[in-house]
Amino acid sequence: MQKTRKREKNKALRLFVDIFCAAAFAVMVGIFLYRAARGTLADRFAVLVANTLLWLLPFILRPIFREKISESVYAVFAVFTFFASLLGSVLGFYSKIAWYDLLMHTLFGYLGGIIGLFFTCKLSDINKLKPAFVMLVCFAVSMMFAALWEIFEFSGDVLLGNTAQGAHVTLPDGSVVTPVRDTMEDMICNLLGAIVFVLHYLAHILTKKSLLIGFMKDDFSPEINTVSSEKE
């Protein structure tokens, strides 16, 4: 019965992801063609191409990883990509709304914790691990992704002349530097998001209730070894 329910839930999530990603891909193609017709494609070409191809990832990864990546992961990816990529990068919410970038980095910190939980469940039986160890792994994975993202932005600024980490400043001696304020704000927001996830996981452990964490643990685990007695 539990496996049947899980299978039905996965079908519903897969349908949602497929429709959502296909619709977003169509929107991106439309934006791409619209800007091409207006002659404004050149300055945003790389961003538009990258943000268009992102929506194809679930369709590409499914045949490769099969059941190893659950549909809930693809669903979280689709929703976050909508806010961070489509609204933030393509429609310019990052520049139009002052706090939007900080909000996305905070949310990314929380999602990094979910990614850490996903890896933990795939690599071991999470029911046999100490909660403190699981929280430490989730926190570390979240901060690792934050560091990798900032390295990616820095590399783009240095190699491609982008300004993802802030406008370049020319010093009196002629050297060009980039202030670290934007980078540190992003890292701090990611840290806050990671802490929120750890507190969420701790509440799940202390209350012995699912609080969605139990749902994710069961969903991410290759197979459920024990019947959970946690309440939803």
Residue 9 pLDDT? 75
Out of 38-42, 52-56, 86-90, pick the least confident.
38-42
pLDDT at residue 229 tops 70: no
Out of 37-46, 47-56, 108-117, 200-209, pick the least confident.
37-46
| Dihedral sign for Cα atoms in the order 113, 116, 118, 121 | negative
Q: What is the pLDDT of residues 147-163, one digit of tens each?
A: 998 888 777 667 766 66
Please state the three-class secondary structure of 130-152 as a single string.
CHHHHHHHHHHHHHHHHHHHHHH
